[in-house]
Homo-oligomer: A and B are copies of this chain.
Amino acid sequence: MSAGIVEEKSVTFEQGIRLDSGRILSPVRIVYETYGTLDSSASNAILVEHAWTGNAHLAGKYNENDLKPGWWNEITGPGRLLDTDRYFVICSNVIGSCYGSTGPASINPRTGKRYNLTFPVITVRDMVRAQKFLIEHLGIERLLSVMGGSMGGMQAQEWATQYPDSISSAIVLASSPRPSPQAIAMNSIARWAIFNDPNWRKGEYRQNPKDGLALARGIGHITFLSDDSMNAKFGRRFSAKDGFFDFFGQFEVERYLNYNGYNFVERFDANSFLYLAKALDLYDLSWGYDSMADALGKIAAPMQFFAFSSDWLYPPYQTGEVVDIMKKMGKEVEYHMIDSSYGHDAFLLEHETFTPLIRRFLEKAEAKG
């Protein structure tokens, strides 16, 4: 069953937070949604973390006429994996984003203007720092689980290492302890595409710089898919609308990137895109520690990792390295390498490959309390 009609909530922390960069961000507003009911001992809460361009709208609809449910609707609701009859499920929009939480498009109360590029560079650890305030605000000392894919998985990893005693388990899908230079290179091209757009105006635009942002998103889509999935989806088909020898003629795959790129402009802010791309590239689980092992040594909760064989953005070997170190340390860790042709996007497309495994893992965590 679906999570039904849901509503967006928000909370503002006037004192703000001190960021990894040393700068203070204040106030910090966080937009979030919750599904299900927190039990009397506040022990059934699961925090779900969204990816790069996601938001707090995990599941359900805002009203009867709402055509599009939340982004992980298929696994959230009564009787589903994230069973809202059983769990109190929370999803919040990360800081830096443009879906209500404080980000570059927010008004800086000290100037009365949008932050734009005066917004501080934030890290994934900063996102989680802000979430900790939210969780405390909701009266939760310890989360039953924290889970997410891609950037969401990075956040789950940060919860596990930064707040080891505040979670009973963590689930990481299609993520990385630190993206490789190839992933950084792809994001750097996306940034460059926006910087090149004269309408970007160093962040001081009134309307999204659409050509640059659409192109940047097109690059993202390439990293979300795989050679296999593109072959299955598009092959080498040439757009039927175009002549094969037209200079501007497009292959189907080209048209797809274009179409999705320009659609994205309607829903996401260019500066937020840049700040979050930066957070992804800077992400290093071991940042501030002597080594990856030193960072992973902090983990107290059981962890479950999923990697997808055709994910070339965050290839399985990266998650494999984390798991190996944890195993050597005797940490409680499960690793599932799912054979999939869907690339990075598999975590959003192939629920059936991981939901039974997560269900079992969550039940174990719940039994332990």
Contact = CB atoms under 8 A, between A and B. Distances in A.
B181 A230 contact: yes
A181 B251 contact: yes
Interface in A233-265: 233-236, 244-247, 249-254, 257-258
Interface stretch (A6-14, A85-93, A276-284): A276-284
B192 A218 contact: yes
A23 B247 CA distance: 13
A212 interface: yes
Interface stretch (A27-35, A137-145, A148-156, A193-201): A193-201
B278 A189 contact: no
A184 interface: yes
Interface in A168-215: 178-182, 184-186, 188-189, 192-193, 196-198, 211-212, 215
Given A247-B278, A254-B188, A231 B181 contact: yes
Contact of A257 (B189, B222, B235): B189
B121 A246 contact: yes
A235 B236 CA distance: 34
A254 B184 contact: yes
A344 B187 CA distance: 21
Given A257-B185, A281-B251, A215 B236 contact: no
A334 interface: no
A227 interface: yes
A36 interface: no
Given A184-B251, A247-B274, 19 more contacts: A20-B245, A21-B245, A121-B245, A180-B227, A180-B236, A181-B230, A181-B233, A181-B235, A182-B230, A185-B222, A186-B222, A188-B258, A189-B257, A192-B218, A193-B196, A196-B211, A198-B198, A227-B312, A227-B315
When A and B form their complex, which 4 residue pairs have the shortest distance between CB atoms, in order from nearest?
Answer: A21-B245, A188-B254, A181-B230, A181-B253
27 contacts: A20-B245, A117-B247, A121-B249, A180-B227, A180-B236, A181-B227, A181-B230, A181-B236, A181-B251, A181-B252, A182-B222, A182-B226, A184-B251, A185-B254, A185-B257, A186-B222, A188-B218, A188-B257, A188-B258, A189-B215, A189-B222, A189-B257, A193-B215, A196-B197, A196-B215, A198-B198, A244-B282
